[in-house]
Amino acid sequence: MNIRYLLASLLIALPVSTGCLLESEDLGAVSSHVYANVVIYSGQGITADESGYHLNTEICGVENGAPVDGPYLLWVLTAARAAHADITGPWGTDDMTKRGGGAFQYVSGWFDLATLPGNVSASYDGPHTNAQLVISHGCPPSNNGAWCSPGFWRNATDAAWALTGYSRSDLFNTHVYAYWYGATYGANPTLGDVLAAPTIYSGPPNPGTSGYALNAFNATGAMLTDAIPGYDFDPDVMQSGSDDACPIDHFGNFK
């Protein structure tokens, strides 16, 4: 199910967290916004501890009041007197759906919570107000073994790559060696280069410090799979050849 749709039919009442929100004149990464007033997300709705970042409120499953099944984040912008708003994040820029009381809502896919403060923002029309952008609640992915093949990553969209924190231009010798693969290449190919040339990089396995017996081609797929939030590369899942081994589709939507 595609979980990046607007909540046109969501009827549940949503708790809205409060907190200080940064207002910025330097739009930088949020330059694609439509409206003049911009607020930058600074961590409302999540908490950090020694084990990482966590949602303050988890609601999983439509039967329990979640807007969708599967992993998601529900963003709420409160901007009194605004008529329109949009939101920009790793998924791009989308309109938010207006609710009552100056509230706007948007459902995104799941992203690593640690990467969101400072990297998600909203804009709105009307007069400037003390607007607030929060994660009202969400549902994290379960920690499961997974395998998304090199062919999957070769054909995946930028939205799927965004989940991993890597890009096609990242260098193999920097990111795949030495944990996933036990040797470097003199030409230092990009991840995209490796994925595009299976005949070159599908040689015999050369285990890295992980101990996994992977060739360079599969090592790249394993590294990217392991970076999907809530999932770990599992060689048993890889060997099984299961149709549901990869937890996301080519657009980065969790299945």
Q: What is the pLDDT of residue 27?
A: 35
- DSSP-derived secondary structure letter, 105: E
Rounded distance between C-alpha atoms, residue 69 and residue 202, angstroms: 37
Rounded distance between C-alpha atoms, residue 50 and residue 37, angstroms: 35
Kindly provide the residue ranges of all beta strands, DSSP E only, lying in 109-199, ordered along the sequence.
Answer: 121-124, 132-139, 144-146
Q: Are strands 231-233 and 92-95 parallel, antiparallel or unpaired?
A: unpaired
Q: What is the pLDDT of residue 143?
A: 66
- For 51-77, write each residue's pLDDT tens digit: 789 999 999 989 899 998 888 999 999
Rounded distance between C-alpha atoms, residue 210 and residue 180, angstroms: 6
Q: What is the pLDDT of residue 71?
A: 85
CA Rg value for the chain = 20
Residues in the chain: 255
Nearest CA among 253, 247, 222 for reference residue 235: 222
Rounded distance between C-alpha atoms, residue 113 and residue 98, angstroms: 24
Rounded distance between C-alpha atoms, residue 137 and residue 45, angstroms: 7
Q: Which residues of the chain have pLDDT under 50?
A: 1-31
Rounded distance between C-alpha atoms, residue 79 and residue 104, angstroms: 8
What does pTM read for this prediction?
A: 0.57
